[in-house]
Amino acid sequence: MNANTRIRVILADDHTLFRNGLKLLLSNNVDVQVVGEASDGNELLSLLTKLPCDVVLMDIEMPGINGFDATRIISEQYPEVKVISLSMYGEEEYYYRMIEAGARGFLLKSSEINEVSEAIRRVMQGGTYFSSDILYNVLKNIHTVVSKTDTQALHLSQREKEVLELICRGMSNQEIADQLFISKRTVEKHRANLLAKTNTKNTAQLVMFAVENKLIE
């Protein structure tokens, strides 16, 4: 695979040993290249000013600028960069704050490397990715935090429900279009309508809202 087509990843974690191990494991993927490492948010943001990057694997608890604030800054200043949280903390206060900040996915550090690789590919295609443990926690503690929308008054068309289900599977707009035999532009319109109807700001929040409120099977 051409180096120019590989997914460029930066690892942001204050534990050198963890970064080294993750970098080694990711090196087995022909389509993923670790192009940089940072031990804290300040170093990461400095790195982004001079190093092109597609995905950041972000720890949360780091000295200086933490993962929450770094993700928020990246979402505002580098919207083309996708952030996936990779943390040892799976409590809802962590994943909700990261999603609110703009993270496209959330994985636990106990995740298998295959899952990390799949998450990287999924967000690069425009989708989202959450570890099964995170989704289990959401279902176990169902209550609406992300949005105050009254789900009793929420009306979704059959097509919107179909699009929402595929979004929750992590599919990109093009993949959804191919699956439903509709245009990509139509999918984009449905996605925008879903965000507006659920009062969510991004795809990750939309997925969490759908899971919490049992809008998908």
Work out the average pLDDT over 182-199: 92
Cα distances (Å, whole numbers) of residue 179 to 20, 162, 168, 172, 173? 39, 10, 14, 11, 10
**What pLDDT does 144 receive?**
45
**What pLDDT does 139 receive?**
60
- Inform me whether the pLDDT recorded for 172 exceeds 90: no
Work out the average pLDDT over 128-143: 70
**What pLDDT does 145 receive?**
46
| Spacing of C-alpha 60 from chain mean position | 14
Architecture of domain 151-212: Orthogonal Bundle (1.10)
| Residue, of 70 and 95, whose pLDDT is higher | 70
Tell me, which fold does domain 3-140 have in CATH?
Rossmann fold (3.40.50)
**What pLDDT does 72 receive?**
97
Indicate the pLDDT class of residue 2, thresholds 50, 70 and 90: low
pLDDT per position as a tens digit, 32-60: 999 999 999 999 999 999 999 999 999 99
pTM tops 0.85? no
Domain spans of the chain, in order of start: 3-140, 151-212
